[in-house]
Amino acid sequence: MNINALLWLGAGVFAGVLLMAIIMAWYLRRWQRLHTEQLEARMQAQQLELQIALDELAEKNRLLEQQNMLDSLSGIFNRACFDKRLNNELKRSRREQTSLGLVFVDIDHFKRINDTHGHLAGDAAIQQIASALAASLKRSSDAVFRYGGEEFALLLPGTSLAGCIELAEHARLNISRTPLQIGSLSLNVTLSAGCYAAVADANSSSNGYISAADSALYQAKHQGRNRTASASTIVSPIIKGSVNEN
């Protein structure tokens, strides 16, 4: 074999090796690209699954927190939620310099309902009054809470004292004019309400607002019940005891 033949043979072998290297490199790049795409797809799927799991967990936590803030009997917000919300609204009133209204509502002679018709009737009365008070609210920022026993609280951000009295009177009159239907029992129920509203300042506290509204409620009950009273300033708590029953 002469030199030229060897050169051609060598060139052919080199070209074959080069072509094979190019083909292998192309397949390698393709495999790497496919592998990367598959890896990215798996990562995206895992991220989506993780996000779904986190969203579900957040929703469960939200529902659990909401359940912890609801009164089991009446279905409205409970006292713990009231305390938290009042503190938040006081801060907003102080920051925005807007009036914060608070109304305490009490079912008149509630003990008589329990004694005469039984505790189930009393429970039903609380449930229906809670629904009626919730329906009386005008804005999404307003809220009604079961403060304790047969007593409710209405928290009314951005509401003047006159606005609190108007809403309380509207709810009170509607309830007094419409007997509660508890099974076959038609039960006439009245409410007493105490109102307070002010723009919070540096010295304002939740206890002060509660004391003022509670004192106004006491005045309404002391004056004969089935009425609304108001407090124009924060006053010291009144020692109760001269008004019999609820």
Residues with catalytic annotation? 150
Supply angle C-alpha 164, 236, 109, rounded to 5. 60
Q: Which residues on neighbouring strands pair with residue 194, listed in sequence order?
A: 104, 229
Q: How far apart are CA 22 and CA 152, in angstroms?
A: 82
b/e map of 204-234 (b: 16 or more CB within 10 Å)?
Answer: bebebbbbbbbbbbbbbbeeebbbbbbbeeb
Phi, psi angle pair for 200, to nearest 5°: -65, 140
Q: How far apart are CA 218 and CA 232, in angstroms?
A: 14
The first and second tokens of residue 18, run together, are 């080069």
Supply angle C-alpha 230, 210, 206, rounded to 5. 130
The first and second tokens of residue 161, run together, are 């004292």
The first and second tokens of residue 243, run together, are 């008004």
The first and second tokens of residue 82, run together, are 């009231």
Q: How far apart are CA 90 and CA 88, in angstroms?
A: 5
Instruction: Specify whether the CB–CB gap between 163 and 197 falls below 8 A.
Output: yes
The first and second tokens of residue 90, run together, are 């006081």
